Structure 1
Amino acid sequence: MSAAFDELARTLRLQGTEVQQFDLGERWGKRMPALRKARVYAALQGGGWVGVDRQQLALGAGEIVFLPRGDAHWVHDRPSTASLGCYDAFCKAMRPTGPSSMRTTAPPDTRLVIVDLQLDVAGAPWMSLLPPVVHLEGDTPGLSRWMGETLRLLADTPELSPALRDGIVEAFGHTLFATALRTLSWPVPSTDALRDEPIAAALAEVRAQPEEDFELGELARRVGMSRSAFAARATAMLGEPLGSYVRRLRLERAAELLGGTNLPVKVIAGRVGYDSEAAFARAFARAHGASPREYRIAHAAGQGREPRRAAG
């Protein structure tokens, strides 16, 4: 697995998760509209079918179907089963067996786990380039086993604290998206940028240290491209010019420091790559609608606590 693609996947921020378990018997099916979240279907036993656009994928025991963009889809025990509406259960005769689990009255032969991932994708415009569906069929045994065991843990251990559950699902989600970045095979011209690992690696370095004064020409030379070609490829991947991306990363980091430390504004400006406190304050106000000091006061009031002191 490429470290560059792993770093891209980590640009996604988890905002919330939901894990549901269904023990299903006889005939079952459901159609879903487009979702504002990513969705995972996993068969811990038995299986079914998932349809996205014109694709119909058989979901076998131990396999995962991942919809990174939450496209409209259906999920059935078999393709010929009629779908119920999106507000219905998978079938009519179901009863709850726990806070997030359901079971059919008919003896179940399929255990289906559904994981929904609410994501902040503002820093990951490459999301729109991902395929509508990724099918993990177990061709990477170590990874597949880890994912299966993680899903069982999430489904069978309701006493997990919300913080621990979110941490587990975040690692699980980043792994899924890193896998999705490696399965790009459908004909979208822009995906050439995602296939170019040297560019991805260079942009991952920028993301890791946005305060550094990266020179576009130097980055281009590292990957053996002209300055203009690198700029075009980077823009295709990021969804915005590299300079805009770096400014946004710097100001996001500044907001974290303002909200989480009591460092002076001048020190924070320097830490995120600004030579002038005044220039930093203007840029921050444009991005966040408040001056750095106003932002810090509002954040502290909202949290109901004093910012912690940072080292250095």
Structure 2
Amino acid sequence: MSAAFDELARSVALRETEVMRFALGDRWGKRQPARRASARVYAARSGGGWIDVARRRLALGAGELVFLPRADEHAIRDRPTTSLAHPEAVCRGMHAVADGALATEAPPEAQLVIVDLHLDAADAPWIALLPPVVHVTGATPGLARWLNETLALLAGAPELSPALRRSVGETWAHALFAIALRDPAASLPRAEALRDEPIAAALARVRASPERAWELGDLARKAGLSRSAFAARATALLGEPLGHHVRRLRLSRAAVLLGETTLPVKLVAARVGYDSEPAFARAFARAHGVSPIAYRQARRREDDALATRRPERVVSIA
């Protein structure tokens, strides 16, 4: 089941990663509204704080991470007794000290890294079934260490190319979503679909090779289910019929190939399961709003622009 969850987590596409570093002293805190198509991570390098989300209060300690898969409404503060009644943030003398780094005038008692993951979750409707918050603690030392070391790379290596930064960020984000899929608190309506091992395993195979001509009957037999039962369970997990999902996977993979390789459009079409280049071009244009060639040109311009601007934007907690 582990591999199935890992493969399912990869259905989340990461549009952009924003990394912010804070050195906080004295009293500090803020209420954060919910954000659409986003996830948020709080990591404590030293010190820590308290996070209130979905009627839960979590203590964030040094070396730990708190992951909000949907960036639900929440509050963060230095201690539970710090009042956040005022609409503005409690954070005196906040000022920029470097690119993407802010500090208060008071000596720092906590060093936090905050990451906003801007998502394209069209292929991952199961995110709605996840718990609102996942706490990664020292109970999983190897995993927590890898997540923190990778985060340090994202936060402190501006020399990374935009493509490599995107790749590292996606791997890091997928690991967090795989952890969330395993969290026993995933108990929202339809969440039992996340525990449906035959379906998750079958969908992992489909995702690994979306270019294949998958037959619903064959998948159902391998899962030990009738065709109708398999289709119903797969739709419950995916939020759409399997055929629509496979088409999304093919066109999403095509977008990656167009943006990150120089393969001719005809070869891209063949690699994602299309025998006809014109048919592929029509399907791609319906999904992405532009032709494959126009999409590739736009991605090249976007990468050139990213390479010339600062690697991280300075975003104030206030």
Q: Structure with the greater relative contact order (CA < 8 A, sep ≥ 6): 1 or 2? A: 2
Partner of 1:61: 62
- d(CA) in 2 for partners of 1:277 and 1:18? 36
In the alignment, the residues of structure 2 paired with residue 17 and residue 108 of structure 1 have an alpha-carbon distance, to the nearest angstrom, of 25
**Which string of whole-angstrom CA distances, capped at 9 and with x for unpartnered residues, describes residues 107-137 of structure 1?**
2211111111111111111111111111112
Structure 2 unaligned blocks of 5 or more: 302-318
Q: Which residue of 2 aligns with 1:238?
A: 238
- Seen in structure 2, the aligned counterparts of structure 1 residues 234 and 304 have a Cα distance that, compared at 3 Å, is closer
SS where residue 75 of structure 1 aligns? Answer: strand
- The question of 1:250 aligning with 2:250 is answered yes
Aligned residues: 298
Unpaired runs of 5+ residues, structure 1, are 306-312
Q: Secondary structure at the match of 1:139?
A: coil
TM norm structure 1: 0.84
Any idea what SS the aligned residue of 2:75 has? strand
Find the aligned partners of 1:146 and 1:154 in 2 and give their Cα distance. 12
Greater CA radius of gyration, 1 or 2? 1
TM-score, normalization by structure 2:
0.82
Aligned CA-pair RMSD? 2.8
> Aligned-pair distance for 1:289?
5.3
Say if 2:11 is the partner of 1:11. yes
Partner of residue 26, structure 2: 26
Aligned to 2:226: 226
Identity of aligned residues (%): 62
1:94 to partner: Cα distance:
2.1
Contact 1:211 1:272 in 2 (8 A): yes
Aligned mate of 2:263, from 261, 277, 292: 261
Aligned to 1:141: 141
The Cα of 1:84 is off from its aligned counterpart by 7.2
Q: Identify the residue that residue 310 of structure 1 maps to in structure 2.
A: none
In the alignment, the residues of structure 1 paired with residue 171 and residue 268 of structure 2 have an alpha-carbon distance, to the nearest angstrom, of: 30
* Residue matched to 2:205: 205
**Residues 84/46 of structure 1: CA separation in 2 closer, same or farther (3 Å cut):** farther
Counterpart secondary structure, 2:183: coil
Match of 1:309 in 2: none
1:196-251 per-residue CA deviation (whole Å, 9 max, x = no partner) reads 22211211111222222222122122122222221111001111011111223334
Do 2:193 and 2:236's aligned partners in 1 also have CA atoms closer than 8 Å? yes
The aligned runs of 1:179-218 (5 Å cut-off) are 179-218=179-218
CA distance change for structure 1 residues 270 and 170 in 2, over 3 Å: closer, same or farther?
closer
1:49 aligns with 2:16: no
- What are the within-5 Å matches in structure 2 for residues 125-164 of structure 1? 125-164=125-164
- Give runs of aligned pairs for residues 72-91 of structure 1, distance below 5 A: 72-83=73-84, 90-91=90-91
Aligned mate of 1:298, from 282, 287, 294: 294
Question: d(CA) in 2 for partners of 1:304 and 1:271?
Answer: 21
